[in-house]
């Protein structure tokens, strides 16, 4: 299979369609979710966010002490350090008056550099915030994407910057495209491209590394 990302996108889209990712009611909730999802399952993030009820806002988190904030986000795990991270990212957002529009007046490279300087914000978290909260065309790479590239034998180094560069060099800088492709990769990884793969019915089985052999391993386990 020629590893054309447009082919991959079309195959995934025919299965999953437009997923309207990221699940959040506001850009700030996206920011919070991007921090809380580090090293935990999304279900735990949802429980933590639900603890805020209708109070989740940068002003609310700004006025909470760190210990109280940690209790709100306890379900997400690593809650003490994540409380510090949320304080730091909220402090960064405050520089822009908590305004998405003010952030978006600045070039992607500037905002990404600022986010990466915030305590607790790595490349995946920064790109998630940029893409899903602020609509910047930057591709998000996660463990699911690396796994997909490895199994499709894509000729690229399996590190964050190389994979990100590959996506952005092969695809036009389109927020909706990046958004939905990343979301579909995540969903497909959860349904099929698991650590122990379930290849039956996977829209990307053709071109994957020995999918039938993997199926036999699954049946024998």
CATH number at residue 174: 1.10.1670.10
pLDDT tens track for 117-150 = 999 999 999 999 999 999 999 999 999 999 998 8
**What's the CA gap between 59 and 63, in Å, rounded?**
6
**CB neighbour list of residue 96: distance below 8 Å, 6 or more residues apart:** 102, 103
CATH number at residue 66: 1.10.340.30
State the pLDDT at residue 207: 75
**What's the CA gap between 120 and 2, in Å, rounded?**
38
**C-alpha dist (Å) from residue 18 to 3, 45, 66, 189:** 22, 23, 38, 16
Read off the pLDDT of each residue in 36-58 and give the average, rounded to a whole number.
96
Token pair recorded at residue 99: 């305004």
Question: Whose CA is closest to 133, among 162, 165, 93?
Answer: 93
Assess whether 79 and 165 both reside in one domain: no
**What's the CA gap between 33 and 41, in Å, rounded?**
11
Read off the pLDDT of each residue in 4-17 and give the average, rounded to a whole number.
92
Q: For tokens 């579909």, name the residue.
A: 184
User: Domain ends where: 133, 158, 189?
Assistant: 133
DSSP secondary structure code for residue 74 in this structure: G
pTM passes above 0.85: yes
State the pLDDT at residue 210: 53
User: Domain ends where: 98, 133, 168?
Assistant: 133
pLDDT at 221 over 50: no
Question: Whose CA is closest to 168, among 100, 103, 102, 109?
Answer: 109
Pick 219 or 155 by higher pLDDT. Answer: 155
Residue 77: left if φ>0, alpha if ψ -120 to 50, beta else—which one? Answer: left
Assess whether 129 and 31 both reside in one domain: yes
Assess whether 71 and 102 both reside in one domain: yes
CB 118 within 8 A of CB 158: no
Assess whether 70 and 117 both reside in one domain: yes
Token pair recorded at residue 220: 């024998």
Q: For the chain, what is the domain count?
A: 2
Phi, psi of 161 (to 5 degrees): -65, -35
Query: Residue 31's domain spans which residues?
Result: 27-133
Confidence of residue 154 (pLDDT cuts 50, 70, 90): confident
């Amino acid at each position: 299979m020629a590893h054309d990302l447009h082919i991959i996108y079309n195959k995934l889209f025919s299965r999953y369609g437009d997923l309207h990712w990221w699940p959040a009611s506001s850009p700030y909730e996206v920011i919070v979710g991007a921090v809380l999802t580090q090293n935990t399952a999304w279900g735990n993030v949802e429980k933590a966010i639900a603890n805020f009820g209708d109070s989740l806002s940068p002003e609310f988190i700004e006025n909470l002490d760190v210990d109280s904030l940690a209790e709100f986000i306890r379900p997400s795990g690593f809650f003490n350090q994540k409380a510090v991270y949320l304080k730091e990212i909220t402090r960064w957002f405050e520089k822009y008056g908590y305004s998405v529009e003010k952030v978006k007046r600045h070039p992607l490279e500037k905002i990404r550099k600022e986010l990466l300087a915030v305590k607790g914000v790595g490349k995946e978290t920064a790109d998630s915030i940029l893409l899903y909260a602020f609509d910047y065309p930057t591709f998000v790479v996660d463990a699911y994407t690396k796994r997909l590239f490895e199994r499709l034998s894509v000729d690229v180094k399996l590190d964050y910057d190389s994979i990100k560069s590959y996506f952005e060099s092969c695809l036009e800088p389109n927020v909706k495209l990046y958004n939905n492709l990343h979301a579909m990769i995540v969903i497909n990884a959860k349904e099929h491209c698991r650590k122990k793969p379930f290849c039956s019915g996977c829209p990307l089985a053709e071109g994957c590394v020995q999918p039938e052999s993997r199926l036999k391993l699954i049946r024998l386990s």
